[in-house]
Amino acid sequence: MRRFVIVLAISISIMAAANAGITNGSFESPTYGSWGAWQQASGWNYMDVSGWGGGYYGGGPAHPSYPAAWQPQDGSQYIAIRSYAVWQTTDVQFEAGKTYTIGVWSVQENPRSYNLGINIAGSTDPLVLANGGDAITGIAVEPSTSSMGYFELSYTATAADAGKWVQVVFYENPNINSGLWLDNATLTVIPEPATMISLLVGSIFLARRKK
């Protein structure tokens, strides 16, 4: 039984691989000595979504004048955006039937609804972001102003998505224009139910054989 539990635990961890494919999801690289405007996190692309050039982004350890609630959730660094999007193409390609969950931690400057946008996009070209119109799915949520909270968006790929590169996008709604802090972005991939069942059956079989 103990062996079965161990094998089962390993199987489950293989089934749900957190952070698969996201580069620098915790915004820890490069290491900055202090918070700075226009400091970028490696692996991420920054895009002005305001259309009026009045946005902002920054990154690094928490600014000394930020309140206690606005601190990194994971590690020692995080980023801020206002009227900007940050996005990246992961090294994961969609497979039909698998479910893709993007998670991120966020806190915002002012209480504004629909301020944090999370999109999942898919490109046939790993170097190009499908623009907003090509987002496969998206949500907009309202982070707390008093503490970092976790938000996520899930999507199950169809046959039409298969082979496209999974792209993750976070943006601050340019019609709202209130600062957002972000940390600890993750991508979790869950196989379709049939695959999960066969993995479970395989685990049971292995555990029995080893008795």
Q: Which residues bind Ca ion (CB under 5 A)?
A: 26-27, 72, 74-75, 77-78, 183
Q: DSSP assignment, residue 17? A: B
Q: Which is nearer to Ca ion, 24 or 99 (CB)?
A: 24
Torsion of CA 10, 14, 19, 22, to 10 degrees: 150
Please report how close the Cβ of residue 79 comes to Ca ion at its closest, in angstroms: 8
Burial of 162 (C-beta count, 10 Å sphere; 0-12/13-18/19+): middle
| C-alpha dist (Å) from residue 193 to 29, 162, 165 | 36, 17, 22
Distance of closest approach, residue 210 Cβ to Ca ion, in angstroms:
40
Q: Closer to Ca ion at the Cβ: 27 or 181? A: 27
Tell me the closest approach of the beta carbon of residue 186 to Ca ion, in angstroms. Answer: 12
Tokens of 63: 């600014």
Question: Whole-number minimum distance, CB 180 to Ca ion, in Å?
Answer: 14
**Integer Cα distance of 173 and 117 in angstroms:** 7
CB of 175 vs Ca ion, minimal distance in Å: 28
Which residue in the block uniquely carries the two structure tokens 């395989």? 202
Q: Select 58 or 174, whichever has its Cβ closest to Ca ion.
A: 58
Report the C-alpha gap between 72 and 106 in whole angstroms. 9
Considering the complex, state which of residue 57 and residue 78 has its C-beta at the smaller distance from Ca ion: 78
In the complex with Ca ion, which residue's Cβ is closer, 42 or 131? 42
